[in-house]
Structure 1
Amino acid sequence: MNTTIQPAGAPDYIGRFMPRPTDDGDEKSGFSFNIADLRAMMWRQRRVLLQVIGASLFIGLAVSLLMAPRYEAESTVRVDNENVKIEAGQDVDPVVALGDTNRYLNTQVVVVESRSMAYAVIDDLKLDQNDDFLLKMRERLPDGAIPANYRKAARRQAEAAVLMANLKVTVPIDNRVVELDFTSPNAAVAAQVVNSYARNFVTNNIKTGLMANAYARKVLSDQIESLRDQLEVSEHKAIDYARTNNLIDASDASGGSGASDTKENAAGSGNSQSITTANLVHLNSQYTDAVTTRILAEQRWRAAQATPLLQIVEVQGNSSVSSLMNQRSIAASEYAQLSAKYKPDFPQVVQARAQLNSLDNQLQAVATNIKKSLEYQYHVALDQEKSLASQRDALSGQTLQEQGRRVQLNLIARDVDSRRRQLNDLMARFNQISAASDIVRNNISQLDSAEVPARPVSPNLPKNMAIAFALGLVIAVGIAIAREAVDDTLRSPEDVESKLHLPLLGTTPNAPDEDLGAGGDDRKSAINEAYYSIRAALDYATLTGTPEVLQVTSSQPSEGKSTTCIALARDYARIGKRVLLIDADLRRPSLHRHFTADRTTGLTEVLLGHQTLADCIIKVGKDSFDLLPLGQVPTNPVEILSSNALGDFLAATKPSYDVIILDSAPIMGLADAPLIARQVQTVLLIVEANRAHNGQAKAAVRRLQDIGARIAGVVLTKFDHRIAGYNYDYHYKYYQYENSETA
């Protein structure tokens, strides 16, 4: 009868080839760089880090000691945005806007660093006369095979290259003072060269300004000459046209002017006025006045016609009428007085009446004459208006004809005026530039001259050592990261869970096996506390609670599986469980050595039927659990495990024990552990920290899963937080609180 225990959840044939959570495709790729892992990595790779950084510091020290000293001299030059204008006309160069200051300063930097400036320094210091400069700069001399006539040119090129390579120009952000620095093995040469650069920088700017003025004067002179010729041609053309078409300008004509002068004046302006036009303008003005006069005269006449004679305004305002009116008033007063005293035929009354009638007749005659004069004035104004209108119409026709002939003249005249204005402007500008051309002006000035430096700037030992340390640190970290990236060793609990995708039931500290003790007397030791936690986690790792049959295995030998078996058997026994510990490693049994027990008979003899279980059981001291050693090492372990013997044995033994623990052989390279895993309820995988590799452990897990084994979890043994690079997170100080002083 086959009593092999089939674990729940065993995959079928097709399911064995389906992806599982432990496959490579589901594993998170990449290297973790959180702070804790990075710190741990640095601790693990501390020897590499110290060696690389030490070598880098040694190289930096050696290079610093072997380097030749170099001196740096500095000169400062002030660069303003605008040129200093001493005279009007010194603004040939454009004004630099505030927003273009940086671009302007960078342009000046390019000028200083240019090859032409280097040649100017060479000429200033006469460096091309010999090879002294190149020797002091410790540079290679030109090839001796160069012909003598080309040797000076080759020396100049080499010196220019050296000058440009050792010059540094700095433009600060917060000011406009340019710093010129030159580095040389010779302190005196450094000061001479940088001062020459500063002088030539200032001189070059002055020369540039003078050349700009000279160029501007030449351009203006050429333009003035050309414009004069064009103006002369245009004026002659205007005069000829005016003479041909008899167009006389009357705007500037005087009594002594001749016909020729008048024609020239006509050609002088596009707004000139001919005689016909002038007469028309004058006649039109007279006509306007005549119309106004006629309207006023007409209004006075028509008002006089509608008004009684003596009430006409002009009549009342006449002095003669006023005198007669006064005389009549006096005469009327006398007549009234006499009429009151005498009869109408009294001589004095008759005389007074006659005088009054005479005054009335005179008044009537004067008023009539005034009214007739108003009528006369109206008719005279009307006739004058008609005459002027007739003359104006005639002149208008003549003017229109003349204006048609003046169109071309006006075009020529405007061209003459435009050229004359251009000529005047150019002459004024030329005079300004000529007056200011010899005045030195500059917006660049040397601020500080360089002094001979007393101390070299290189080698700078602290700086070089700092650079060497930084480079060494970068290289060391890179090497450390590369080593960690290719190292797949399982170091920490996080590695086990993230890479194997199995629950971690616990970790044990890195302690000698004898610390466990055959009797485990010190129950508060770190390793005992670790196995207490593992046993408690194992009880909750499966749905059925404490496993009835538990196989303990590992991927490779000496990872702590036997120690784990002993510790679990002891802990289960202490809580009252009936425990059977079986040494199922048919290759290299080891449990009998832990208890100094006799292994002449054991599991092998029981499976082969040579002995009974009761004959082979060994009682283990006060821990009260049973030990079944292997007995004799069989010659055919695979055949024994492939048969039904182990399954039948476990099925028959289970009623007598609460927990059966099998210490089996490692998984890799052997078929024993997978064969046993098919017969048991639960498998516990042991992984040794800092020794087991990810690939190897995953292969072991895959072999177990392929045969349908139920893996309860993983135990990480021999874990040392100091080797892994972690600190307080994994310290084993279980009883620090219990053993501390209490108040």
Structure 2
Amino acid sequence: MNVPAPETHEPAYGGQQPYGLPMGVYGPGAIGEVIRYILALIRRNRWLIAAVIGLAVIAAVALTMLDTPRYTASATVQINDQSEQVLGEELDAQTEVNKASDVERFLNTQIEILRSRALAQRVARRLDLIGNERFYAAMGLPLPGQDASEAARREQVIGLLQTNMEAVLPRNSRIVTISFSSTDPALSAQIANTFADEFIQANLQRRFDSSAYARSFIGEQLEEARVRLETSEREVNAYARNAGLIRMREMTPNGENADAVSSSVTTSSLMQINEAANHAKADRIAAEGRWRAEQSTPLFASAAVLSNPTVQDLMTRRAELDAELKKNRERYLDDHPSVLQGKAQLATVNQQLNQVAANVRDSIRAQYTAALAAEQRLTSQVEQLQGATLAEQDRAVRYNTLAREADTNRSLYDGLLQRFRELNAAAGIATSNLAIIDRADAPLAPSSPSLPKNLAIALVLGVVVAAAVVFMRDQLDDAIRIPEDVEEKVQLPLLGIIPNTGDISPAEAMADPKSAVAEAYGSLRGALLYSTRQGLPRLMLVTSAQPTEGKSTTAFAIATGFARMGRTVLLIDADMRRPSVHGRIGHDNRKGLSSLLVSQDPADSALVATTIPNFYALPSGPIPPSPTELLTSPRMPALLDEFLGRFDVVICDSPPVLGLADAPALSALADGVVFVIEAERGRRGALKTALKRLRAVNAVLLGAVLTKFDPNKSGNRYSEYYGYSYYRYEADDESKS
């Protein structure tokens, strides 16, 4: 058979990402992919989700119907920061400080008091609830037996009161709502009102007890502070008299006594003379700097000399005489009277100029000498006063300690005296910062069970449980269902997605060039063109993990597609166990690959030219007893080399990988392997086992093809997302036109 020589095709670009895939899988749009994945998960498990939520709703309705109605009565109490003040500006100022710094903590403390065991005990004692049959009935409990102790009954009642009482303080509000729930509406109102009353009474009792205790305690502390103050004042005066110290104790701006550094004549003199010495030192340093600079500068280069007005006038006069002398010398001889007179005048001016400049420099030196003398004099005085001051400070150490102790005792005494006066003024005034706003009335309608509330809770719980079940089911599900599963679960690049044809056979679907299947295989061919750095592999093997996953159809579609592109293509049916290529081309299977492998017949003797230009097929031939032995014989590589010399592309339809040795043996000879996975059927464990067998022989895995993919089972608009809505759009457009 005459077969055209293979053409040489240089790849336009190597290593390119397979096209025909959604960008969100490999690049931007990851959030959109996650959303689509979740929607697909919901769609696949919609009946399970509906069942879980439905059971939750039914359970909520049943519980609502069977639950005993409970009634909640509420009273409201206003909580102010402090009670009304009657003691004047001092306490008002203190109240403002409390409002600014401790309001939230104060309000939270009041709420905790409402929920406290002590308040519940006061309510139980006032209403005589211990052993009260009506109370136990309202709580849905039987009366305790005769063998129950009084303490056990009391603790049970207190626990019931605390459990069924609720205190709520809204944010940015001072009105707390006190609610109590039971099956008896009148009793609920009575207990809620008693909680409010006892809350106020307990607050007043705490204030009264606290005030009485405070008056007694502060009175004792005040007497002790007075004795300490008198003792410390006498000690200060006695020590000052014995040490010969006369000091005026100063006051700080905030009214407190100053520290140990109080005024004395010696200290004040030392500070004043020391400050004068510092100024003298600064003046000396400045004068010395000017004099040193003057010494290192030529006389008439000194800035001080040149800036002197007399020097400037003399220099101007010298310039004028010098100019006049030059004119006279041009006109007269040197012994001419005019010339002699000019020389004499010029000499006089120069002498005056030198004298004035020297005087300026001498004045700078005199300033330095005077500054140095002043500094030395003041420094000597400072040294003399330092000795006197140090001696005085030694004597003042004990004085300062005693003075600080007296000041502390005086401050403590004044504070205690002020507080004692306030407490005496407030004695007997029983005011409260709490007030009842609304008293509780017996509720007319039950507060629970609430069908809307229970349904809402059931819906939330149902959704949460359903989500957990679906998530766990999805995590345990190892099936390849959506395109993203290919890369995620088997770590293979996705070359193409072939949609499910439904009741239509793949051959009929591919017969329409604008069908979704035909275009999907076209996208697969495009991905294969750039599947390696060298471009399209010339010898490709198409296989799958299990039978009937669509590998033969995929191999046939790839071969016919490249043939229509103008390349000479040979499709080899290497599946000698379930051959199918001869049926697709309408030819018998009496001669084929098995015939060539067991004989030395020419390779083209078994080739079949199909009706498609450039497309040739090699059927499997008669099924041999041991296909593996034939496929692994030395004759197989030789045949493939011969075919590669005649065709641009050679495609082998291989048997499945699992359970057979044929596919791994053939994959070692191929330039690349296309791995076919059937959607909803391929399992991660089986696929990884198959891929492990292929990788064991160093097969070059080009990627995976997901076949029989049904977008309607896989979630939110997968068909449009993967490009298949174009055909519906075109059909709709043609029908409208």
1:480 maps to 470
Report what 1:179 is aligned to: 177
Shift of 1:657: 3.7
Which of 540, 548, 551 is matched with 1:561 structurally? Answer: 551
1:601 matched residue in structure 2: 591
> What is the one-letter code of the residue matched to 1:98?
A
User: By how many angstroms is 1:121 displaced?
Assistant: 1.1
SS at 1:84's partner residue? Answer: coil
Match of 1:679 in 2: 669
Q: Deviation digits for residues 487-539 of structure 1, max 9, x if unmatched?
A: 33333333334555544332211114853327953222111121222223323
Instruction: Determine helix, strand or coil for the equivalent of 1:127.
Output: coil
Any idea what SS the aligned residue of 1:517 has?
A: helix
- The one-letter code of the counterpart of 2:662 is D
Choose which of 521, 524, 539 in structure 2 pairs with 1:534.
Answer: 524
Counterpart position of 2:134: 132
Q: Partner of 1:163 in structure 2?
A: 161
**Other-structure match for 1:114:** 116
Question: Normalization by structure 1: what TM-score?
Answer: 0.63
Q: Is the 8 A contact 1:646 1:679 kept in 2?
A: no
Q: Is the 8 A contact 2:545 2:658 kept in 1?
A: yes
Give the match for residue 498 of structure 2: 508
**Cα distance 1:726–1:697, how it changes in 2: closer, same or farther (>3 A)?**
farther
Change in 2 beyond 3 A, CA 1:512/1:627: farther
* Alpha-carbon separation, structure 1, partners of 2:624 and 2:504: 29
Alignment correspondent of 2:78? 78
Q: How does 1:411-426 map to 2 (within 5 A)?
A: none
1:450 is matched with: 440
Residues paired across the two proteins, number: 526
Over the aligned positions, Cα root-mean-square deviation in angstroms equals 4.0
- Deviation at 1:673? 0.8
- Whole-Å Cα distance in 1 between the matches of residues 645 and 220 of structure 2? 126
2:128, 2:89 → 1: CA distance?
A: 37
Aligned to 2:393: none
Structure 1: gaps of 5 or more residues: 1-26, 235-410
Contact conserved, 2:673 with 2:701, CA < 8 A, in 1?
A: yes
Deviation for aligned residue 1:451:
0.9
Distance 1:641-1:198 versus aligned 2 partners, 3 A rule: same
Give, as a single letter, the amino acid of the residue that structure 2 aligns with 1:103. Answer: R
SS at match of 1:691: coil
Q: CA deviation at 1:171?
A: 2.1
The answer for the alignment partner of 2:640 in structure 1 is: 650
Q: Is the 8 A contact 1:75 1:181 kept in 2?
A: yes
Displacement of 1:58:
2.4
Distance in 1 of aligned mates of 2:464 and 2:429: 60
Q: Secondary structure at the match of 1:34?
A: helix
> Using the alignment, how far apart are the partners of 2:145 and 2:433 within structure 1?
43
Aligned partners of 2:501 and 2:509 also within 8 Å: no
Write out aligned runs for 1:197-212 (5 A). 197-212=195-210
- The 2-side partners of 1:84 and 1:647 are apart by 106
In structure 2, relative to structure 1, the CA distance for the partners of 1:124 and 1:577 (3 Å cut) is same
> Structure 1 residues 64, 708: closer, same or farther in 2, change over 3 A?
same
3-state SS of 2:473 partner: helix
Counterpart for residue 307 of structure 1: none
Cα pair 1:90 1:436 within 8 Å, conserved:
no
Question: What is the rounded CA distance, in whole Å, between the counterparts of 2:185 and 2:79 in structure 1?
Answer: 27
Map residues 155-554 of structure 1 onto 2, 5 A cutoff: 155-216=153-214, 218=216, 437-498=427-488, 500-512=490-502, 514-517=504-507, 520-542=510-532, 546-554=536-544
User: Matches of 2:480 and 2:35 in 1, distance apart?
Assistant: 19
Contact kept, 8 Å, 1:516 with 1:528, in 2: the verdict is no
The residue type equivalent to 2:129 in the other structure is L
SS of structure 2 residue aligned to 1:508 = strand
Aligned letter for 2:52? V
CA distance in 2, matches of 1:69, 1:485: 43
Distance 1:163 1:715 in 2: 69
Q: Does 1:690 align with 2:680?
A: yes
Task: Give the distance between the partners of 1:543 and 1:175, measured in 2 at CA.
Answer: 72
1:584 and 2:574 are equivalent in the alignment: yes
User: CA 1:90–1:62 in 2, change beyond 3 Å: closer, same or farther?
Assistant: farther
In structure 2, the CA distance between the partners of 1:738 and 1:211, relative to structure 1 (3 Å rule), is closer
- 1:223 & 1:704 partners in 2: Cα distance? 95
- 1:718: which partner in 2? 708
Is 2:724 aligned against 1:732? yes
How far apart, CA to CA, are the structure 1 residues paired with 2:475 and 2:642? 50
Specify whether residues 521 and 718 from structure 1 end up closer, same or farther in structure 2 by C-alpha distance, changes over 3 A only: closer
Sequence identity percentage: 37
Tell me what 2:628 maps to: 638
- 1:627, 1:144 → 2: CA distance? 100
- Native 8 Å contact 1:188 1:452 kept in 2: yes
The alpha-carbon distance between structure 1 residues 188 and 593, as it changes in their structure 2 partners (threshold 3 A), is farther
Distance change (3 Å), C-alpha of 1:161 and 1:93: farther
Q: Which amino acid aligns with 1:100?
A: D
Contact 2:165 2:179 in 1 (8 A): yes
Q: Is the 8 A contact 1:56 1:468 kept in 2?
A: yes
In the superposition, relative to structure 1, how do residues 88 and 440 fare at CA in structure 2: closer, same or farther (>3 Å)? Answer: farther
Amino acid at match of 1:591: V
Residues 644-698 of structure 1 show CA distances to partners (whole Å, capped at 9, x for unaligned) of 1222223334444443322110112211011112333332221222322344334
Which has the higher Rg, Structure 1 or Structure 2?
1
Q: What are structure 2's unaligned runs of at least 5 residues?
A: 1-25, 232-401
- Deviation digits for residues 111-158 of structure 1, max 9, x if unmatched? 222222112112222223533211221134324323xxx34x432221
Instruction: State the distance in 2 between where 1:221 and 1:568 align.
Output: 106
Q: Which amino acid aligns with 1:732?
A: Y
Indicate the larger mover: 582-591 or 661-670.
582-591
Instruction: Flag the 1:708–1:203 CA change in 2: closer, same or farther, 3 A.
Output: closer
Shift of 1:194: 0.6
| Counterpart contact for 2:564–2:612, Cα < 8 Å | no
Structure 1 residue 469 displacement after superposition? 1.5
1:382 aligned residue: none
